[in-house]
Structures are given as C-alpha cells and as structure tokens.
Structure 1
Amino acid sequence: MHILVTGAAGFIGSFVCHRLLEMGCRVTGIDNLSDYYSVKLKRHRLALLQDKPGFTFCQLDLADRVAMAELFARERFQRVVHLGAQAGVRYSLDNPMAYADSNMIGTLTVLEGCRQNRVEHLVFASSSSVYGLNTKLPFSTEDCVDHPVSLYAATKKSNELMAHSYSHLYAIPTTGLRFFTVYGPWGRPDMAMYLFTRAIDEGKPLKVFNQGNMQRDFTYIDDIVEGVVRILEKVPQPDPAWRGSPVSASSAPYRIYNIGNNQPASLLDFIRLIEKALGKQAIKELLPMQAGDVRTTCADIEDLYQAVGFKPVTPLEQGVERYVRWYREYYG
C-alpha cells in the first residue's frame, strides 16, 4: 500500500512513518521544514527514515497548489495521513497568517488531491483544542465545539468541517483524530515537556501558568501512533440512518475520534515527575493564565475503543522517564 504522510519531519509524522514502514507500506513523506522550531531536529528525525526501504521524502509546502496536485497525480496514493500543520496555540496569537496558509489552504490542497485521485481513506489530525470553552469532562466527540479560544483551535475545527463537506460531496472516506497533549522522545521544543525539562536540568526558572492550576491529558507518542494506524485500517462507511446524532458520525463516510490518555494530570504533578526523572528540583515562576489556554483537558475515548479495540496504555511516569532519557542522550 502506498501512503502519503504530510508533516513527515514533525514529531507525530516521523513516528507514523516509522510504524507504517515496519508494517511493509510504501511511504511518501512531505514537509516544508519550516523554521517555527529547530530545522536541525526535523532533519535528524528524517535522517532516521531516509535509509529505510520504501520511504521517499519530498520537501514541499502544503499550500503550493500546483506542486500538491502534481504529487497526487503522479504518485496515486491509496491512503493519506495528513499531519502537517502550523502548530502551537500561543504562536497563533502572533502570526495568524501562518495558520491560514498551512492549516486552511494546506488542508484544502490535501482534500482536493484526495478528491481528484480517489484516495481510499484520509486520516487527518485535529486537536483537543477544539473543545475550547467546554467545561463538561471528559471531552466527548458528541460535545459542541463552537467556542474555540485560539485561532489554532478555530483552524482545526475548520479542518473538520472542510473534511466533512468533501466526504459528503465526493464520498471520500475521512476520519479526524483529536489528539490530546502528545509527548515523548523527539518531541517539539516549543512544548511543556521540553521547556520544563530544559529549565529544571539547567537550574533556570520555569514558567508555570495559572499558578499551576491546570490539568492536561498527556498522551504518549506510541499510543498516538497505535491509534492512527488502527484507524487508518478502519475505513468509515456512511450511515444511511443517521439523523444528526451522534455528532461524530454522518450520513457521509466520515468519523471523528479522540485519542487521549483519559487520565488528566495536574501541571504540578507533571513537573514533579520530571524532577524525579532528572534528580533535580524545579525553580517555579508562577504566572497568570495565558490567552488561548484552557484549564483542563480530558478525553472520552470510548468511541475509539469501540471502533478499534484500543486505548492508550502508557503511564505518565513511564513516558516521562523515557523522554528524559532521550533528552539527555540527544541534547546532553
């Protein structure tokens, strides 16, 4: 099977490529290698993939309509895993146009490629951030997600709407996955896992927002990848009896699932686990809530389990230990 993975030099994308190659798939990975964070880290991720049989990499911007159309027409992908995006909630406050180009136009070029070339299944990354001002826990795919608190979240919700319209109009089987705070080795350096680890390791103050009164549904990278590959194999079918409920299904071949650990941890407990793994104490700088943040995330994953028989299994302490081990090897 020939599969396109967008964002192949990214954190989740590179891991998904590894897994698909291990399964015997032929994988074409694309990435624009943007400098939003370390290009060196992205190239190192790619270096681990380059010599693997069946892998091809193209440096390509998702927003390049002509190049994307040519790629789809030339390669005739059977399935697509669309993970490429401009990430980061806080960065969206400073550079909103980057999110329009990458997350909106970029997703549209992928959808067009799938439409024009009859792709069997498109799996795309959404985000827990779409739940916005929701206060009911755990977050369910049946909840209303019409009140985002960041532009990043708004673009991810828009991606879901765009995908559904293409699924409805052109019968493209499409599945969206709302990821919850992914962490692990090779993780992004703009995320809390890296920022906290580095600050503690170097004996510098670390910024803890909302005075530490926040909880996150931290989900280990291996669990995310397992969910992605299982969902990729489960091509959604239209439900002719659908009349508006459940929200995560449709009369089109379209589905939405959460992938999270379903065990939110407080930010302060998260920091304590990093302290334990490093053998060092944190210097905490307690700060007010940041614009675009939410206090708590927690995933209802019953739909995912019913669909593919899988729930994330990695305990947070184990995941943190693995990350710190990798951090010391890579940055040390």
Structure 2
Amino acid sequence: MTGSGRPDDPSGGPSRASADAAPASRIGEFDLIARVFAPLAGEGALGLVDDAAGYAPPPGFDLVLTKDALAADVHFFRADPWDAVARKALRVNLSDLASKGATPVGYLLGLGLPADWTVGHMDAFGRGLAADQEAFGIRLFGGDTIQSPDRLVLSVTAIGTVPAGRMVRRGGACPGDLVVVTGTIGDAALGLKLRLDPGLAGRLGLSEDDRAHLLDRYLLPQPRTAVAEAVLAHASGAMDVSDGLVGDLAKMAAASRAHIQIDADQVPLSDAARRFVALHDAASGDDAALRAALTGGDDYEIAAAIPEMQVDAFLADCLAAGVPATVIGRVTAGEGIRVNDRSGAAMDLGDGSFRHF
C-alpha cells in the first residue's frame, strides 16, 4: 500500500508537497501504512513496501474481480464508527464474489482520508479490517492512501477464485428456472429510514429489538459467502442484491434475455421488517414500506436462478450452510420483470432500485 501524490500543481491546487504538517493526533502517511495496514498484508503483498503485489491463482482456477466504492453520506453516515465502515466496504465486495460462486482470497484498498481523521479513527479502521479478514479468510494485497477534500471515501477491489470457466453470471437465467433469494429482504432499506428519521420507530411503536435489528442490517451487511459453493453447484445465473431486489432482478432478466415473475408475498422478510411494514403501511394507508423493502437495496443477499430439478438440493445446501433461502418466482420466456401483489395484480414499482444518478 504505497503512498502516492501528484506533483505540485501550478494552478494552486493541493499537493502532498504543499500539505500542512500532520497535527499531533495524526501520523505521517508511511507511518500510517506501517502501523495500520502492513500487519494486514498477505502473501504476495511484499509487506506493502513495493509498487504492486503478486498473486498466482491455483492451477485450474480463474480469478474473479469486483470493485465497490463507498463515500460518507452516500453509503454510510459520517458519524458511523470507522471499524464498521471498514467492514461494510469489505463485505459489499465479498457479497459480489459469493454471487459468482467464488472463494475470496484477498483485496486491494483505496482510501481517501478527510481533513479531520485521527490515529484513533485509523486504529479502529484497522481493527475492523482485521476482524473481517479473520472471519472471511482473506488478506490485504495493497492499495493507496490519499487526502480527500471533503469526506471519507474508500474503494475495495476484492479478488476471488473459481474453477476455470465456471463463474456464475447474472445472464445465465433460463426459462423454467425458479428464482431463489437467500436470507431476508428489505431490512437495510427500512433501517435507513430509521436512521434518517430517528423518531420514526417511536411513532410506529416499533420495539427496541426490532429497531436495533434493522439498524444493524444497514450498518453491517452479512455477505453470503457460506453459500458460494451451493451457487457454484446449482445456479444457472446469480447476482447479489445491492440496489434493490426488483431492480436487480430486472438486470438479471435483461442480461439473460428472459422474463422474471415474482410474488411479493413470497419475498422473505425478517420478523422486524414484517412488523415495520405492517405498522407503517397501516398507519399511512398505503404500501410505501413494502415498496421500500422490495426496491430499497443494501440487502447483500444472493438472488439466483436455479433449474427446478435442483431447487431442493440448493435450498438444502443453503440451510446446511446456515443461510435459509426462499423460492420467490420463476423465469419464463420473454423480457422484463413482473411483481405480483397478493391479488395477483402487477405492482408498479418504477425502476425498482436505487440509482446514484
């Protein structure tokens, strides 16, 4: 994780050479790398003292690469603990690898630090990375650290392996496949509503346990790495649910040149989400909370198209891995996506997903 900076800018813009000395609450760039990141480095990272790392996949395996960038006040709140921010950045990428049937091996980290960062922030950040490296069996390969003009920004490139030629693509869904999702949908989107409106839980009469569950699911995703092997063994197509279930399944349908139909009543909700939806929508007289759960995103579950003859085996493999999975619909010939409500009528959910722009 070598440092980098641009040359002095004749236009008067910031540069490393002209930056003010670090305050007492901070340390220099290279001391920061040695203190926080070098202990996280894996084989091939060369102690983070070279310009690049080297990694050779095992014979007969392909590399799977994915990248997600996160920014304060877009993907997390500025006040969020830095250890949780670090873990979220890792986990959203691990979710992508799991949906491809890949086993994670390591990652690269790009980090833009705001003006008010401290050693305490970075020690917490390092602890968060260390905890998840241990939990998911990965190591840091390298990256870059720069100054950010406004807010904390970070980007992770995660690296995994799959048997050669077997990566599961989102465009592999076939007519006749059943659509299955892992875990539960909508918790994070509803948790975000609670973050944005701190009084909402009280007005709804939501219990503290339910509130805590939903907030945690937004703050700290649970990537389904445990079911990557089941995805690899059974799925025709798969993707992680990050931008909203309905919108992401629409992407799968488009990539597969097929039609996907799901039943809203079959989409698995946690007990906390179910109670939130019931309380909110009863009070408002509409289905806004249910719509948010179906389209809001940040679930980091896996949506998979599974041949009907293999569905029972897939569900059993997921359950054995500690991750329940639920059949919510079917792939047919055609194009687009249809979401049926309880009466069988099509729901109008717009784009069905979060968009940055």
Do the structures match in fold with TM over 0.5?
A: no
| Bigger share in helix | 1
| Bigger share in strand | 2
Instruction: Decide which structure has the larger Cα Rg and report it.
Output: 2
Q: TM-score, normalised by structure 2?
A: 0.28
Q: Which has the bigger relative contact order, CA under 8 A and spacing at least 6?
A: 2
Q: TM-score, normalised by structure 1?
A: 0.29
